[in-house]
Amino acid sequence: MTNEVFLELSYFVVLLLSVLLGAATWCLLRGSLGCLLASGHVSRHAASARRVVRLALLLGPLLGFTTVRYFSCAVTTYSEVIAKRDYLVSVSLRQLGAAMAYIIVTVLFALLCMTACILAGKEQPRIREDSTG
């Protein structure tokens, strides 16, 4: 396999892995967010927070994947990019790492949203019963 074919193949494999990692993370978080929505201690914004987290877990890895560039100070042309397979592997690993970093940020955002929804649900005003009539 030539380095040019390896570049094309690894690009799409890493892209697919990035999206699959985001989807797998959503599948893991979906149960927790569902339990949170089922409980009575959440605000009305919990459903929209769940949608935002789902979208962020699908778009975040794509964003992280696309932030890694093949060109750098030492590598400025396409022929230099495909010259060494080690360089192609290192760029693929950086793409995967950037996608995972975005997933981690999204999970932290989800935890923050869940905490905020729980706190907002507990702080809803209660109707006070006055015993003096």
- Count of domains forming the chain: 1
Answer with the residue of higher pLDDT: 132 or 63: 63
- 36-84 confidence digits (pLDDT tens): 666 655 556 667 777 788 888 888 888 888 888 888 888 888 888 888 8
d(CA 7, CA 82): 7
Residue 130 lies in a domain: no
- Domain of residue 16, residue span: 3-121
Answer with the residue of higher pLDDT: 128 or 102: 102
Would you say residue 106 has pLDDT above 60? Answer: yes
Answer with the residue of higher pLDDT: 37 or 5: 5
Q: Is the dihedral of CA 29, 31, 34, 36 positive or negative?
A: negative
Residue 52 lies in a domain: yes
d(CA 19, CA 56): 11
Nearest of 27, 29, 114, 104 to residue 61 by alpha carbon: 104
Nearest of 64, 67, 68, 69 to residue 21 by alpha carbon: 64
pLDDT of residue 99: 92
